[in-house]
């Protein structure tokens, strides 16, 4: 997570009848943060607090910005675009920008640029009362930029501006903020704007924080339908619905985005198309099942429009682990219990008042444990377990990496998931190179998540994001081959997780399909390792293979570690869902130390747990 | 007015005098409201640069001191001695001329209605098909209108009514009937304060009833903090501009012309009247002090009720919070008694043993003036939109944390948005205190009499030679002081920014 | 907000401090003066210069004429800070005397004034009188007693104007009528006049204005008001009002208020006001006030000499306290029941 600009603890703001903000605890990070929520959720109230237009009735609101005000009086710390634009009726458009410009010498040029960027040049001498709502919105945003403030707080900026001009204005805003390193906190109803412009989102519902985190995470894993719909259309399935419409078993309610839902024409399909409404790139389709029930679905449309009366099948590509509902999940250590002589638990170092959560780990040849956390750091513990060093990813505002390995040449290779690339660095964090870009072609990535290296130095990169596959590269990163595709069949993958090469085989966590698949060096499927009876993995997120050939798998849903032999025989299990000792909560990563210890990244509990067999 | 005593003497009971004042004030309120509705639409139709001048023209009659207006028309009023009804009509016309602009200002500054004009139109479109009787439809339409675009009409009419009802200076000079004249007559001989208090209660009760919609408007105006969207669907014909000009000439130009003729020649003699200058200083000091206290109290009251964007009541509202409008109304009531009555009651208060020590001090006159000015200070300060915490003000305030240039701009914006309107509001409130005759006469400590008393005596005894110059200097001095303050401020700002 | 509060506190402190410096102290005389300050102020300032005794003047105003300084002293009671009361007539001073508010003093000034114009016990002394007169618009009617009588007898009295008899010299006039005619007769007379259209206006100056402007033909007023119109060269003339053959001369009166902290200075002022010098000064003013004590012959203008002759025929205006109370009670019930 980026550094915190504001920290709110139990902040309440009274309202008529019910409070506008009700014991809100949240952290507003630096970067681009959106405040989302339905009307009346408390977005404006929250932003008013940040700019001290209102004061909380109770609770604590700490703004590091306030400290900066005292320290850096040569630059305005914070500025505001209020919902009613807050324009000064006696000043013209140009005068608004001139009035707030920080420095006189460069003012004229800066003002002219802003007028041009926001399409206000021809209105430079007009007064606010002669402007339209859209023009006033643009002026309000331009004025905020003209201040040169470190942080801009904008309440539904550019909401009155027409779509095409709004995109241009947002682009200008983004560009200027990026050039200056200005953080932006804004509220919006518009899903597209939030997705395009924000890195972090705080969702409010009836004055409370319903969710806080990366936009991509909210898009991929919304906990509720309401949260899902904040970022666009979603097909929401309760477990019964999933069985009836998808023929799938969902243990928890889940949302499937339009791009992940397929309507496949099938003469013997059980579903009949009742109505189709084209919505540009999407289509709303009403389907009727055999019992006469009908329901609306939103999908990506596709090239072949559906006709009324056509028979179809529904298929969902669950590569993004949507709508996982973990609470109350009763994962348990059934069957054999893995004997553990001792456990050690510790937390990652705190970063600016925030306790990070571990995500992925690996041991290097020195026996050091390298941990990726959810604020964007690489934290290294020595063989003695003491913190040795840490450094930051080159970029982390869009999202954090999910996989790390040490290459044979001693370099570290990190799957920089949300930047669609892999990053090479030294053991001390010196950046050595990057590879990859967004795309589906060879050499491109959607969400690369895990890595492994074979004995030849070839690198295997597992990715998800609708393009679930593994790509193989030579040591100099020349593309060799790819295997796997999104799906549930043999050799197909749904949400790839951990990947390990061992003794000529590549073992891949096929998370949604609840299995570990084994491929050869050429990508041919050798089998499903975990097909044995009684194994029943529940979202195997990561795996590690120890020197003695035992396979340790950490299960996200059931909160346990399962140990198998390489041919799939269950050796034992440890842990269950929970917050206490011996329990895990949505663990993401696992690593095996050379001496046989197992370290689990207990992500949900924000701790590392070392198991000594 | 009913004759009560025997023979031809036109005796008037207090009830009848109040009734006469009520009737006159009601007529003035109705006609004044009609004028105010049109005046309120005139100025906003002008381009922004002309708008200030337009408002200055419209408001000039209500800013003309009653003393000057009354004296200006005194002789003409005398000429109507054989036509008392014409005299009454002239007085009512002057009242309308002075009060209607206040109503216009209030209509202009009214908060947005609960029911928008489009909502009213929707109701009308559907009303014909609801099957209601025509009376029900009419009542429904009235209810919609009073909650909607005409929601400020009632408080505007109430303010016009109050101005007309309380007015006593012009009434005395023009010798029209009403409760002030009754009270002056009744006070011959020793003033019976017990009877006075009872009668004052009646007057205050009448005004309290009328002030309820005004307080409600004030409360809502302060709570919503937003200006109304102008009703741009019904512009007013430019022919209506005749009326502000007529009122300006009738209520401002003519009386000033009468009073100020010969001012230039009389100026030289003022140098030989040190007591005039001393009394001028007294008047300024009392007015500025009581005006400052009244404006500070009014500002504090407004800030207590202030809510930035939402008309919220604190979560788990307290007893005080729920009774805020009532408390506000109670604080305003002393100022409704009228200057003479208020001065007498304050006088009585300071004769109590525990306050006797302050009887001879300026505290008495300051108390009376402050209470008298407080309701007007609240009204005037409510008309300043930036007395509330608005986004525009906060956007300016945020610049205080920035560079030197931005901090300078923040100060200038603060002055332009809030400081300067408050300054002129203060000047206006002070001017009312400055020219209050009754309180000056009854409550001034010995040796510290304000100049207005001297002016009035000159007017009454007809010493025109020195009067014009005195009036000129008296009226001009506060304005010159205000201009001097602004000039010094501007010079200091320019020097600082250089 | 805090700056505003600070400003208020400083302003109040400043005024109180200023008052503390300028407030009357034991060496200051507080004079309540009902006479027109245009005439009285120069006299009091001269006294200040001559004696070095600081004088603080509390004036009266027509706006509160009904309240007046007499009522103010009565309201203030024992705490009144008035040292010397200079009234522009007698009856109010008599009212104070009856209420026990006055301090007797019979100094050289008192000795100078004839008996008919002063209290025998020295509670107050009259000086510088003015007459009750008919003011006539000479363009409307002749200024003769017969013409007045004829006008009074007419069925339409709308050309006549009088001041509201509840205040000032008109009250004194009516008190005299009450004493001489009896209350019942006066009531009948007054009601009859009003019924026939007589204009009852706010004050003597208004009567003067109405007659001078020709809106009324004649009316009752005082000589000082008459001379304002006369000096403005308006077509007016005056005749003395006679009650049972006597004129009505209403003097100014001066008295020391009981409880004065500066008795000696107050006595000096009283003697000063009752001096020939002051009476001559007042007679020479635009008000043409009539000296009541002996003055040097030839010092008076012809107009004042004429007034002085009329003054010699005046009725006794000093003994009308009871009549005033009864008359005022009737008038209050009449006009403000």
What does the H/E/C string look like for A115-168?
HHHCCCHHHCCCCHHHCCHHHHHHHHHHHHHHCCCCEEEEECCCCCCCHHHHHH
- Determine the residue among C64, C82, C98 to mutate to test chain B binding: the one whose Cβ has the most chain B Cβ atoms within 10 Å: C64
C157 to chain B, closest Cα gap in Å: 11
Strands, DSSP E only, in A393-495?
A: 403-406, 412-416, 421-425, 431-435, 447-453, 459-464, 469-473, 479-483
B416 contacts A90? CB cut-off 8 A: yes
Measured in whole angstroms, how far is the alpha carbon of residue B474 from the centre of its chain?
20
Beta bridge partners of A379: A371, A390
Mean pLDDT of B493-497: 76
For the record, the structure tokens of A613 come out as 């067999």
In this structure, what DSSP letter does residue C285 have? S
Q: Is C214 on the interface with B (CB under 8 A)?
A: no
pLDDT of C128-159, one tens digit each? Answer: 999 999 999 999 999 999 999 999 999 999 99
- A309, A381: one domain: no
- A316, A327: one domain: no
- A12, A84: one domain: yes
Backbone φ and ψ for C169, nearest 5 degrees, come out as -70, -25
Question: What is the reported pLDDT for A314?
Answer: 82
Among chain B residues, the shortest Cα distance to C164 is held by B185
Instruction: Report residue C22's pLDDT band, with 50, 70 and 90 as the boundaries.
Output: low
For the record, the structure tokens of B319 come out as 């007893």
Residue B108 has pLDDT above 70, yes or no: yes
CA geometry: angle at A484 spanning A483 and A488, to 5°? 165
- pLDDT above 70 covers a percentage of chain A that reads 94
Q: Are strands C84-87 and C28-33 parallel, antiparallel or unpaired?
A: parallel
Question: What is the reported pLDDT for B461?
Answer: 59
B48 contacts A15? CB cut-off 8 A: no
Residues of C in contact with B283 (CB under 8 A): none
Question: What is the reported pLDDT for C234?
Answer: 93
Question: What is the reported pLDDT for B306?
Answer: 60
Average pLDDT score, chain A: 88
Question: What is the reported pLDDT for A167?
Answer: 87
0.80 cut: is pTM over it?
A: no
- A222, A278: one domain: no
Q: Is B355 on the interface with C (CB under 8 A)?
A: no
CATH assignment at residue A284: 2.40.50.140
Mean pLDDT of B160-186: 81
Question: What is the reported pLDDT for B2?
Answer: 34
- A199, A169: one domain: yes
Residues of C in contact with B272 (CB under 8 A): none
- Determine the residue among C61, C155, C286 to mutate to test chain B binding: the one whose Cβ has the most chain B Cβ atoms within 10 Å: C61
Are B81 and C200 contacting, i.e. CB atoms less than 8 angstroms apart? Answer: no
Of the candidates A396, A393, A395, which has an alpha carbon nearest to the alpha carbon of residue A404? Answer: A393
Question: What is the reported pLDDT for B143?
Answer: 78
Tell me which of B300 and B288 has the higher pLDDT. Answer: B288
Residues of B in contact with C183 (CB under 8 A): none
- A220, A245: one domain: no
SS3 B164: helix
- A426, A532: one domain: yes
Q: Which of C76, C228, C332 is the closest to B462 by Cβ?
A: C228
- Domain boundary, last residue among A168, A197, A229: A229
Question: What is the reported pLDDT for A96?
Answer: 92
B311 contacts A100? CB cut-off 8 A: no
SS3 A262: strand
B6 contacts C203? CB cut-off 8 A: no
Residue A327 has pLDDT above 50, yes or no: no
B293 contacts C24? CB cut-off 8 A: no
Question: What is the reported pLDDT for B310?
Answer: 38
C163 to chain B, closest Cα gap in Å: 12
Tell me which of B235 and C249 has the higher pLDDT. Answer: C249
In the stretch 70-109 of chain C, residues with CB closer than 8 A to chain B read 71-72, 74-77, 79, 81
Residue A537 has pLDDT above 60, yes or no: yes
Instruction: Report residue A333's pLDDT band, with 50, 70 and 90 as the boundaries.
Output: very low
Q: Is B359 on the interface with C (CB under 8 A)?
A: yes
Cβ contacts of B191 within 8 Å, gap of 6 or more: B344, C67, C71, C75
Tell me which of C82 and B331 has the higher pLDDT. Answer: C82
The fold adopted by the segment(s) C130-247+321-334 is D-Maltodextrin-Binding Protein; domain 2 (3.40.190)
Give dist(CA A412, CA A389) in Å, integer: 14
Give dist(CA C151, CA C154) in Å, integer: 5
- The answer as to CATH 3.40.190.10 being correct for domain C2-128+251-301 is yes
Touch test C–A: 3 Cβ pairs or more under 8 Å: no
Average pLDDT score, chain B: 78
A363 to chain B, closest Cα gap in Å: 49
pLDDT of A106-158, one tens digit each? Answer: 889 999 999 999 999 999 999 998 899 999 999 999 999 999 899 999 999 99
Residue B271 has pLDDT above 50, yes or no: yes
* A560-564 β-sheet, strand order: A540-545, A551-555, A560-564, A570-574
- A285, A197: one domain: no
Looking at chain C, which subunits does it touch, using at least 3 CB pairs closer than 8 Å as the criterion? B
pLDDT of A216-248, one tens digit each? Answer: 888 888 888 999 999 988 999 888 888 788 877
Longest dimension (CA), chain C: 75
Instruction: Report residue A195's pLDDT band, with 50, 70 and 90 as the boundaries.
Output: confident
Give dist(CA B99, CA B93) in Å, integer: 10
Q: Which of A15, A80, A101 is the closest to B310 by Cβ?
A: A15
Give chain A's domain count.
Answer: 3
Mean pLDDT of B339-352: 82
C28 contacts B453? CB cut-off 8 A: no
Q: Which of C8, C66, C77 is the closest to B188 by Cβ?
A: C66
Among chain B residues, the shortest Cα distance to A130 is held by B48
- pLDDT above 90 covers a percentage of chain A that reads 53
Give dist(CA C217, CA C214) in Å, integer: 6
Give dist(CA C68, CA C203) in Å, integer: 14
Question: ipTM of the assembly?
Answer: 0.76
Fold matches, C2-128+251-301 and C130-247+321-334: yes
CA atoms within 13 A on the CB side of B60: 20
Residue B347 has pLDDT above 90, yes or no: no
Q: Which of A16, A78, A149 is the closest to B312 by Cβ?
A: A16
Question: What is the reported pLDDT for A593?
Answer: 92
Instruction: Report residue A323's pLDDT band, with 50, 70 and 90 as the boundaries.
Output: very low
In the stretch 49-68 of chain B, residues with CB closer than 8 A to chain C read none
- A305, A355: one domain: no
Look at the block and give the residue holding tokens 């100099």: A476
B437 contacts C333? CB cut-off 8 A: no
Q: Is B7 on the interface with C (CB under 8 A)?
A: yes
Q: Which domain holds residue A447?
A: 323-612
Q: Is B346 on the interface with C (CB under 8 A)?
A: no
Of the candidates C314, C145, C313, C300, which has an alpha carbon nearest to the alpha carbon of residue C238? Answer: C145
Of the candidates C292, C289, C127, C295, which has an alpha carbon nearest to the alpha carbon of residue C224? Answer: C289
- A496, A378: one domain: yes
Residue B238 has pLDDT above 90, yes or no: no
Chain B to chain C Cβ contacts (< 8 Å): 202
Are A301 and A552 contacting, i.e. CB atoms less than 8 angstroms apart? Answer: no
- What residue segments make up the domains of chain C, in order of their start? 2-128+251-301, 130-247+321-334
Question: What is the reported pLDDT for A73?
Answer: 56
pLDDT of A574-594, one tens digit each? Answer: 998 988 888 999 999 999 998
Tell me which of B297 and B384 has the higher pLDDT. Answer: B297
Of the candidates A408, A477, A410, which has an alpha carbon nearest to the alpha carbon of residue A437? Answer: A477
B447 contacts C23? CB cut-off 8 A: yes
Q: Is B229 on the interface with A (CB under 8 A)?
A: no
Give dist(CA A107, CA A386) in Å, integer: 53
Q: Which of C209, C228, C335 is the closest to B78 by Cβ?
A: C209
C205 contacts B461? CB cut-off 8 A: yes
Q: Is B362 on the interface with C (CB under 8 A)?
A: yes
Instruction: Report residue B117's pLDDT band, with 50, 70 and 90 as the boundaries.
Output: confident
């Amino acid at each position: 997570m980026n550094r915190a600009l504001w920290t709110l603890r139990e902040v309440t703001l009274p309202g008529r009848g019910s409070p506008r903000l009700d014991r809100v605890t949240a952290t507003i990070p630096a970067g681009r943060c959106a405040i989302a929520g339905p009307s009346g959720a408390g977005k404006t109230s929250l932003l008013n607090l940040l700019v001290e237009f209102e004061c909380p009735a109770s609770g604590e609101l700490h703004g590091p910005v306030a400290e900066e005000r005292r320290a850096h009086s040569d630059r305005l710390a914070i500025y505001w675009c209020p919902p009613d634009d807050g324009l000064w009726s006696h000043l013209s458009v140009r005068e608004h920008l001139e009035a707030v410009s920080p420095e006189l010498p460069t003012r004229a040029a800066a003002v002219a640029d802003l007028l041009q960027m926001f399409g206000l040049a021809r209105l430079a001498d007009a007064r606010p009362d002669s402007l339209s709502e859209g023009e006033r919105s643009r002026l309000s945003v331009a004025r905020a930029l003209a201040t040169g403030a470190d942080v801009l707080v904008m309440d539904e900026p550019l909401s009155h501006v027409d779509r095409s001009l709004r995109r241009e204005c947002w682009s200008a805003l983004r560009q200027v903020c990026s050039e200056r390193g200005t953080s932006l906190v804004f509220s919006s109803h518009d899903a597209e704007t939030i997705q395009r412009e924000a890195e972090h989102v705080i969702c409010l519902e009836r004055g409370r924080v319903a969710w806080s985190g990366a936009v991509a995470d909210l898009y991929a894993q919304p906990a509720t339908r309401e949260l899902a719909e904040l970022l666009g259309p979603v097909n929401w399935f309760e477990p019964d619905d999933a069985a009836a419409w998808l023929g799938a078993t969902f243990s928890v309610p889940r949302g499937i985005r339009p791009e992940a839902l397929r309507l496949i024409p099938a003469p013997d399909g059980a579903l009949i198309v009742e109505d189709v409404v084209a919505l540009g790139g999407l289509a709303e389709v009403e389907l009727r099942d055999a019992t006469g029930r009908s329901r609306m679905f939103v999908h990506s449309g596709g090239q072949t429009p559906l006709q009324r009366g056509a028979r179809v099948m529904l298929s969902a590509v669950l590569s993004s682990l949507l709508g996982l509902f973990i609470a109350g999940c009763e994962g348990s250590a059934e069957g054999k219990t893995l004997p553990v002589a001792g456990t050690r638990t510790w937390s990652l170092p705190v970063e600016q008042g925030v306790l990070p959560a571990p995500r992925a780990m690996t041991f290097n040849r020195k026996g050091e444990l390298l941990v990726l956390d959810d604020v964007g750091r690489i934290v290294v513990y020595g063989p003695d377990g003491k913190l040795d060093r840490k450094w930051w990813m080159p970029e982390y505002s869009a999202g954090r990496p999910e996989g790390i390995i040490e290459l044979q040449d001693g370099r570290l290779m990190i799957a920089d998931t949300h930047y669609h690339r892999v990053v090479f660095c030294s053991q001390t964090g010196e950046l050595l190179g990057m590879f990859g870009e967004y795309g589906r072609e060879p050499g491109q990535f959607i969400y690369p998540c895990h890595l492994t290296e074979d004995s030849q130095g070839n690198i295997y990169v597992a990715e998800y994001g609708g393009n679930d596959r593994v790509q193989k590269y030579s040591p100099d990163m020349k593309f060799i081959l790819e295997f796997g595709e999104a799906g549930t069949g043999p050799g197909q993958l749904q949400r790839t997780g951990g990947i390990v090469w061992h003794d000529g085989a590549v073992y891949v966590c096929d998370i949604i399909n609840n299995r570990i698949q084994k491929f050869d060096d050429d990508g041919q499927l050798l089998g499903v390792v975990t097909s044995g009876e009684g194994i029943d993995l529940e979202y195997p997120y990561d795996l590690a293979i120890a020197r003695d050939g035992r396979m340790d798998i950490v299960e996200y849903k059931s909160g346990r570690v399962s140990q198998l032999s390489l041919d799939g025989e269950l050796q034992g299990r440890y842990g269950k869902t929970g917050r206490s000792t011996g329990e895990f909560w949505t663990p993401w990563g696992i690593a095996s130390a050379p001496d046989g210890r197992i370290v689990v990244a207990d992500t949900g509990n924000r701790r590392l747990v070392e198991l000594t067999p | 007015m009913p004759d009560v005593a025997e023979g031809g003497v036109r005796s008037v009971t207090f009830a009848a005098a109040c009734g006469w004042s009520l009737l006159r004030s009601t007529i003035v309120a109705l006609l004044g409201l009609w004028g105010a509705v049109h005046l309120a639409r005139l100025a906003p139709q002008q381009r922004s640069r002309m708008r200030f001048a337009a408002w200055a023209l419209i408001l000039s009659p209500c800013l003309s001191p009653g003393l000057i207006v009354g004296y200006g028309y005194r002789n003409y009023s005398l000429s109507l001695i054989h036509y008392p009804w014409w005299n009454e009509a002239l007085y009512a016309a002057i009242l309308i001329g002075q009060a209607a602009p206040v109503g216009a200002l209030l209509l202009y500054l009214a908060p947005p209605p609960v029911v928008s004009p489009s909502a009213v139109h929707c109701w009308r479109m559907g009303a014909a098909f609801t099957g209601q009787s025509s009376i029900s439809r009419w009542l429904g339409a009235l209810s919609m209108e009073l909650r909607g675009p005409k929601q400020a009409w009632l408080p505007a009419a109430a303010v016009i009514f109050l101005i007309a009802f309380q007015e006593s200076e012009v009434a005395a000079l023009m010798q029209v009937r009403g409760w002030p004249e009754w009270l002056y007559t009744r006070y011959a001989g020793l003033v019976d304060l017990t009877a006075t208090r009872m009668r004052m209660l009646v007057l205050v009760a009448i005004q309290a009833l009328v002030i309820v919609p005004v307080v409600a408007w004030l409360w809502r105006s302060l709570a919503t903090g937003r200006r109304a969207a102008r009703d741009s669907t019904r512009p007013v014909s430019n022919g209506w501009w005749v009326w502000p000009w007529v009122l300006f000439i009738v209520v401002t130009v003519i009386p000033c012309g009468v009073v100020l003729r010969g001012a230039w020649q009389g100026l030289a003699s003022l140098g030989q009247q040190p007591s005039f200058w001393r009394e001028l200083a007294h008047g300024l000091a009392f007015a500025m002090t009581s005006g400052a206290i009244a404006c500070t109290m009014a500002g504090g009251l407004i800030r207590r009720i202030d809510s930035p964007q939402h008309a919220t009541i604190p979560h788990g509202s307290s007893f005080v919070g729920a009774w805020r409008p009532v408390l506000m109304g109670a604080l305003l009531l002393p100022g409704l008694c009228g200057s003479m009555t208020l001065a007498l009651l304050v006088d009585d208060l300071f004769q109590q043993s525990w306050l006797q020590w302050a009887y001879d001090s300026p505290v008495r006159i300051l108390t009376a003036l402050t209470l008298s000015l407080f309701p007007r200070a609240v009204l005037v300060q409510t008309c300043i939109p930036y007395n509330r915490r608005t986004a525009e003000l906060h956007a300016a305030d945020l610049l205080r944390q920035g560079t030197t240039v931005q901090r300078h701009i923040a100060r200038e914006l603060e002055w332009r948005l809030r400081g300067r309107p408050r300054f002129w509001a203060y000047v206006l409130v002070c001017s009312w205190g400055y020219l209050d005759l009754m309180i000056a006469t009854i409550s001034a400590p010995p040796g510290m009499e304000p100049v207005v008393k001297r002016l009035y005596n000159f007017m009454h005894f007809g010493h025109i030679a020195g009067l014009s110059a005195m009036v000129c200097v008296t009226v001009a001095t506060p304005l010159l002081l205000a201009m001097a303050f602004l000039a010094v401020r501007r010079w200091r700002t320019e020097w600082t920014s250089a | 907000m805090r700056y505003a509060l600070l400003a208020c506190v400083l302003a109040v402190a400043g005024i109180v401090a200023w008052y503390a410096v300028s407030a009357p102290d034991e060496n200051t005389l507080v004079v309540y003066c009902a006479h027109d300050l245009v005439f009285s102020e120069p006299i009091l300032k001269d006294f200040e210069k001559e004696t070095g005794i600081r004088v603080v003047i509390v004036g009266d105003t027509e706006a509160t004429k009904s309240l007046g300084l007499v009522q103010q002293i009565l309201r203030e009671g024992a705490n009144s800070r008035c040292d010397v009361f200079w009234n522009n007539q007698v009856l109010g001073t008599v009212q104070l005397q009856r209420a026990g508010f006055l301090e007797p003093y019979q100094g050289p000034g008192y000795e100078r004034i004839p008996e008919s114009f002063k209290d025998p016990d020295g509670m107050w002394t009259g000086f510088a009188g003015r007459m009750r007169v008919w003011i006539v618009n000479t363009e409307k009617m002749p200024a003769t007693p017969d013409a007045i009588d004829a006008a009074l007898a007419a069925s339409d009295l709308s050309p006549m104007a009088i001041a509201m008899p509840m205040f000032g010299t008109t009250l004194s006039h009516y008190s005299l009528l009450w004493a001489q005619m009896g209350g019942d007769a006066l009531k009948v007379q007054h009601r009859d006049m009003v019924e026939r259209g007589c204009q009852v206006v706010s004050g003597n100056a208004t009567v003067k204005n109405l007659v001078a402007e020709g809106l009324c033909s004649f009316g009752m007023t005082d000589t000082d008001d008459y001379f304002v119109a006369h000096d403005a060269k308006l077509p007016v003339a005056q005749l003395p009002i006679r009650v049972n053959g006597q004129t009505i001369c209403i003097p100014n009166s001066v008295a020391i208020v009981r409880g004065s902290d500066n008795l000696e200075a107050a006595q000096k002022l009283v003697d000063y006001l009752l001096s020939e010098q002051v009476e001559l000064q007042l007679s020479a003013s635009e008000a043409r006030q009539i000296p009541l004590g002996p003055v040097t012959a030839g010092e008076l203008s012809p107009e004042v000499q004429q007034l002085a002759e009329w003054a010699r025929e005046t009725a006794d205006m000093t003994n009308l306290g009871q009549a005033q109370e009864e008359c005022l009670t009737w008038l209050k019930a009449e006009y403000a029941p």
